[in-house]
Each structure stands twice: as structure tokens, then as C-alpha cells.
Amino acid sequence: MNDPSTPGAEDNGEERGQEPELSQGDATIDLPDFMRSISQTTAWINSINETVEPMRRHIRDQESARRTIESVMGPGNALYQTVRDTQRQYRSLVEPVLALQSDLSDIFDWHSHIADVISSFSIPRTLLNQLADSAALFLPGNLIGLDADDLDMLLDLGEEDGLSLAWAPRTEIVNALLLLGTRAERYAFLADRRDDVLDDVDGSLQLVTHPALTGMAAILGAATRTARNGSDEGAQALAGNVLETAMKNYGNAWIRCSFPQVAYPQGPGHHRTIGSLLDTPNYWGNLTLPQFAPYLVAAGMRNAFAPGDTQDTFNRHLGVHQASPDTYRPEFALPAILLAHALLRALNQGLERPDDTQDNA
């Protein structure tokens, strides 16, 4: 349920499709303008930091030189006096600039607060338009330009067709899929555009740079090559193994960390983790903007890890434990590759790194 104290939230129990307003008092928050303002201000502060860093580095170098000369020759040495005088003159010139930069950093400490600001906004369906307008900040690049109805439909296609269309394929193909009425039509269209879909996956995998994921990305690249060679069964098997490995090693923990409000069951089971998220009543109304892409990826994986003895979409469990022409179908190869690819891209953003950098492409 939404918290009534949250701006724009309504405790009305409505599910995805309802449209509460986002406002604070009588003023409507223009989220895209707000986010652009944050982005521009952050870029400005970063540029100032980059400008003054050489000054700080030069001061440190001067201080190091002064201490070295003092320790070797003593403070009364003429060279020491020259270095100290030069250091004082330089400081008198640059310290006003450094003081200004420090004050600005204190005032605009955006890096530590932006995430809290963003997370205060929930995204019931009325905010999908706002999300689309702020796409560069929150959406995979191939989904930029889609409107609220398109984004809403993507979630449905993920669960119904077992498709994760985040980061690949290209926007043109995503738009075409959204216009088709049945799963069979969508699978057939993907097959017709097989080479383009595989090209897009291969290009996107180049951005998977986290050390824990590059090996799996390489195996998924082997799956795309296998698909190009016409061996759909081999491609499906490789992609399914990458999907399973990624979920087992990192995916479950990533979902639980990305959506901490959900009550997850104890014990193993990818389908239990995914189902707990997707089946939480009214949880859609409590999603925050950064959670949309992870939610989209999780929605696509529901069928892949669903229990049961039969399936109409790719199912990783049946492919491993009940291998047959029914569980390995030509139309399952590309969905399996897209699922594994989307999870790797999501993990590439979500996992911590030694250098604390993230992929935002």
C-alpha cells in the first residue's frame, strides 16, 4: 500500500493502471525538469572539482618538496626558503578558489543525497510518462522514446511471453513487437529479425565489464554465435546455463537488495524470489524510479524459473531436467538469450565494484 504521507500517493489499494497525482500541496512536481536540474548542477560541481584538483595536487607536491628539502638541508637553507616563499605565493592565489569550491561542495552535496531524493518518488502508472521523459536517467537505452502505455505493455509481455527486452534488441524492434497481438506473432518477428537481435545482444554485452560477470558474458557470446550457426538447441542450452549461474551466484541477492520491502521466503528457489516480488499485492504502486528496469528484468524471468512439467515459453528447469524436442524449441533460443543478456546488464549496474563505478549506458 502507498504511504498517504508520501506526495502523490493514495492509500486506495488500486493496482497497476490507476493514476494518482504526484503533487506537494498545490504544486505539481515536474520530475523531468527536477532531474535535469540535478544532473546539470552535478555536472557543474564536477567540472569545478576537475578544475581545482590540479591546484590541490600542485600544493601537495610543493609541500612534499619542502619537507624533503627541510629534512635533508635544514630549514635555514636558501633553497628551502625559496621553495617556502613560492609555496606561500601560490597558496595566496589559489586558496580563494579552493575555498569557493569547498563551500559549493558543502551546499550542493548531491552525490550523497540524489538517491534519497529519487527514491522518494513512487511510480504508479501515472508516472510512467514522467519516467519516459526522464529516460536517459532510468531506462535502458533501447527503451528511450517509449510512452507510458508502451512501458506498461513491456511488463505484461515480460510475464506472458518470457521476454526481457531491456538493453536489447534495438528500439525499432521493440516498437514493432509492441504492435503485435499474439505471442506467436512476436516470436515469429524475432525469428525474422534474428541477425539484428543477435547483433544488438553482442554489442550490448561489450558493456558488461564487472569482473564477476565477464566470463558469463563470454559464454553468452558463444550462445549468440551458436544461434547464428543455426543450432538453436545449443544456443538455448548455453543461454539457460548463463541465466541459472547468474541467478544462483548473484541474481537472488540482487533482487532482494533492489526490492527490500518485499517479504521473501526462506530457502532457495529462484522462482520463489521472483514470485514474491511480482505477486506482492499493490507493490507496483510503491516502486521507485530506479527500480523500474530491475522490475522489468525480473518480470521477464518468471516463466523461465516457473515450476511445472509443461511450458509454452522458455523454461530453464525443464530444459535441464526434461530435455526433449518440446522443451528445446527453435522459438525459445532468442528469448533465452535475451533473458540472460538482460540479467547480466542489470547485474552489471547493480553489483558493487572495487572502483565503485557503474555502467549507465
pLDDT of residue 109: 53
pTM of structure: 0.67
Q: What is d(CA 237, CA 319) in angstroms, rounded to the nearest whole number?
A: 7
pLDDT tens sequence across 169-219: 999 999 999 999 999 999 999 999 999 999 999 999 999 999 999 999 999
**Which of the given ranges, 20-29, 92-101, 306-315, has the highest pLDDT on average?**
306-315
| 28, 127 contact by CB (below 8 A) | no
CA–chain centroid gap for 96, Å, is 40
Q: Is the pLDDT of residue 307 over 60?
A: yes
246-250 long-range contacts, CB within 8 A, separation 24+: 246/213, 246/216, 246/340, 246/343, 246/344, 246/347, 247/301, 247/305, 247/343, 249/212, 250/212, 250/213, 250/347, 250/351
pLDDT of residue 16: 43
Exposure letters 88-103 (e unless 16+ CB within 10 A, then b): eeeeeebeeeeeebee
| 244, 211 contact by CB (below 8 A) | no
Q: What is d(CA 139, CA 361) in angstroms, rounded to the nearest whole number?
A: 9
pLDDT of residue 305: 95
Q: Is the pLDDT of residue 115 over 60?
A: no
Identity (one letter) of the amino acid at 261?
Q
